[in-house]
């Protein structure tokens, strides 16, 4: 179950008047709008607020073009500037403690939660937006806007605060604030804002007109409150689903880990006494390989198993990065994998490619399809993959290119021991497990026929667990 999409569907129904029934006894929204406009004009005449400036027209078209919006007959559409004061200012004594809200203190998603730091007014009154309890803050910069960073400011020291200027502050002139906080998180509102993004990619901001000229639906206050109550009821139900989903996903993760542990200790499938012993297999593929049978690391191994080093059962090699200054090395047809491309599965997508010249003139190596890869350092340390096609790699990736037994058994062994590899790398800023550490890692080796049975059983059980996950 896609709970994010479900929440958005609920908000879509809400802002179109389809979540709760209309009550004919409610005050018509048009009457509410006129009363709000009258109150706004009174405040303007008394000098308490300033008139909101409309955005400038360009090319004989309004800066913001409103579109048709389906609403009940008892509702009306109103411009944002009719319903809210935009970016109001506070007057506070310098020594007063207030709340300070940087963008990091505003949560993503649907919760509308925020935290704050306590500051003195004199330290934050300039260079920041102003707000008070009950105001709505909406992020105007990408990707915060798309990530639904919006909230109702509350519980502020002395009821006031300041924060990042990447928040637009909206103060209600007579509407029920929670209803509009949810509207600002709706996919409709987000699409309206992103349609008129301004600025360079990564630093784009919504057009100011989204907070002034855009027409939004206006139900009666009574219906706004009924809608919010219904949204909260549905969202509480979804919270339970997500919590249970999270618990189940963690249980599935732990179950997979247990399956791998059983597999690498010879307890997942029964042994077959007719299988060729692993010692004979190892002698055949590497006569010089050191063989042990009762290493304390794995305890007593099943009959037919043995223990050896990863370096004894395959050739391991790391990659390289051709000089970025040599344009002729890039843009060719040879896939060049970086550790971020590893997906703990079969690697199908490798976006970047190098040229034949780079392969010839640098230390980069071409690994055949089926090679087993492991990331050796950085944020991706311990991530693994199986090549679906021949590819080169950067120097942070180590490849086993000619593992002779069942390749997927090696893959699952590495997956089962990811945390051990990470621990080998130490806890520094740039943990590094190195090729030497990898090839000197002990592996319990089953007979080749049993390796096949183990892999088949792992994939059968994992498929069942994945089906459960996909149904959530």
CATH of 3-233, picked from 3.90.220.20, 3.40.50.850, 3.40.50.300, 3.30.365.10, is: 3.90.220.20
Q: Cβ neighbours of residue 236 under 8 Å, at least 6 residues apart? A: none
Tell me how many degrees the CA angle 384-395-433 measures, rounded to the nearest 5: 60
Unique residue bearing structure tokens 């993959």: 385
CATH number of 254-470: 3.90.220.20
Which of the 8 DSSP states describes residue 60? T
472 residues of the chain, pLDDT tens digit each: 688 999 999 999 999 999 999 999 999 999 999 999 998 999 888 887 877 666 554 434 445 667 789 999 999 999 999 999 999 999 999 999 999 999 999 999 999 999 999 999 999 999 999 999 999 999 999 999 999 999 999 999 999 999 999 999 999 999 999 999 999 999 999 999 998 888 766 678 999 999 999 999 999 999 999 999 999 999 998 898 888 888 888 889 999 999 999 999 999 999 999 999 999 988 888 888 878 655 556 668 899 999 999 999 889 999 999 999 999 999 999 999 999 999 999 999 999 999 999 999 999 999 999 999 999 988 889 999 999 999 999 999 999 988 667 889 999 999 999 998 988 887 555 678 889 999 999 999 999 999 999 999 999 999 998 887 776 6
| 254-470 shares the fold of 3-233 | yes
Query: Can you list the pairs that 345-353 forms with residues at least 24 positions away whose Cβ atoms lie under 8 Å?
Result: 345/385, 345/386, 346/385, 346/386, 346/388, 347/373, 347/385, 347/386, 347/387, 347/388, 347/391, 348/388, 350/391
For the chain, give every domain's residue range. Answer: 3-233, 254-470
384 sits in which H/E element: strand 384-387
Write the Ramachandran bin of 253: left for phi over 0, alpha for psi from -120 to 50, otherwise beta. alpha
Measured distance CA(9)–CA(186) in Å, rounded: 9
**Residues linked to residue 235 through DSSP beta bridges, in sequence order:** none
C-alpha to C-alpha distances, 107 to 102, 152, 285, 356, nearest whole angstrom: 11, 11, 56, 48
């Amino acid at each position: 179950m896609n709970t994010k999409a479900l929440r958005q569907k609920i908000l879509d129904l809400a802002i179109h008047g389809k979540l709760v029934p209309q009550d004919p006894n409610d005050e018509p929204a048009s009457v509410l709008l006129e009363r709000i406009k009258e109150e706004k004009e009174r405040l303007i005449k008394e000098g308490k607020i300033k008139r909101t400036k409309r955005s400038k027209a360009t090319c004989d078209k309004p800066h913001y073009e409103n579109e048709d919006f389906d609403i009940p007959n008892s509702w009306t559409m109103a411009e944002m500037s009719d319903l809210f004061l935009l970016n109001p200012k506070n007057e506070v004594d310098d020594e007063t403690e207030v709340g300070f809200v940087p963008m990091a203190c505003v949560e993503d998603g649907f919760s509308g939660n925020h935290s704050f730091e306590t500051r003195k007014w004199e330290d934050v009154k300039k260079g920041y937006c102003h707000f008070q309890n009950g105001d709505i803050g909406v992020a105007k910069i990408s990707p915060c806007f798309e990530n639904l960073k919006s909230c109702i400011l509350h519980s502020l020291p002395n009821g006031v605060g300041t924060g990042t200027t990447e928040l637009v502050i909206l103060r209600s002139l007579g509407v029920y604030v929670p209803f509009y906080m949810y509207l600002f998180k709706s996919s409709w509102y987000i699409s309206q804002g992103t349609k008129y993004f301004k600025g360079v990619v990564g630093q784009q901001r919504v057009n100011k007109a989204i907070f002034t000229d855009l027409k939004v639906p206006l139900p009666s206050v009574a219906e706004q409150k009924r809608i919010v109550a219904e949204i909260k009821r549905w969202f509480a139900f979804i919270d339970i689903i997500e919590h249970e989903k999270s618990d189940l996903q963690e249980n599935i993760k732990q179950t997979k880990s247990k399956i791998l542990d059983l597999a690498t200790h010879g307890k997942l499938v029964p042994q077959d006494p007719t299988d060729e012993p692993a010692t004979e297999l190892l002698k055949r593929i590497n006569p010089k390989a050191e063989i042990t049978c009762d290493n304390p690391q794995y305890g007593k191994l099943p009959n037919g198993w043995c223990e050896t080093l990863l370096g004894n059962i395959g050739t391991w090699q790391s990659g390289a990065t051709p000089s970025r200054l040599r344009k002729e090395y890039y843009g060719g047809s040879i896939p060049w994998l970086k550790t971020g491309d590893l997906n703990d599965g079969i690697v199908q997508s490798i976006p970047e490619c190098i040229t034949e010249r780079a392969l010839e003139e640098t230390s980069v190596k071409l690994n055949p399809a089926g090679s087993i890869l492991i990331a050796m350092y950085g944020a991706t340390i311990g991530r693994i993959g199986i090549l679906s096609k021949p590819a080169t790699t950067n120097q942070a990736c180590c490849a086993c290119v000619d593992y002779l037994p069942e390749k997927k058994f090696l893959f699952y062994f590495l997956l089962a021991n990811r945390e051990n590899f990470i621990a080998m790398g130490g806890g520094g800023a740039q943990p590094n497990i190195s090729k030497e550490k990898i090839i000197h890692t002990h592996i319990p080796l089953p007979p080749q026929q049993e390796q096949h049975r183990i892999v088949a059983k792992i994939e059968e059980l994992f498929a069942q667990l994945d089906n459960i996950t996909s149904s959530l």
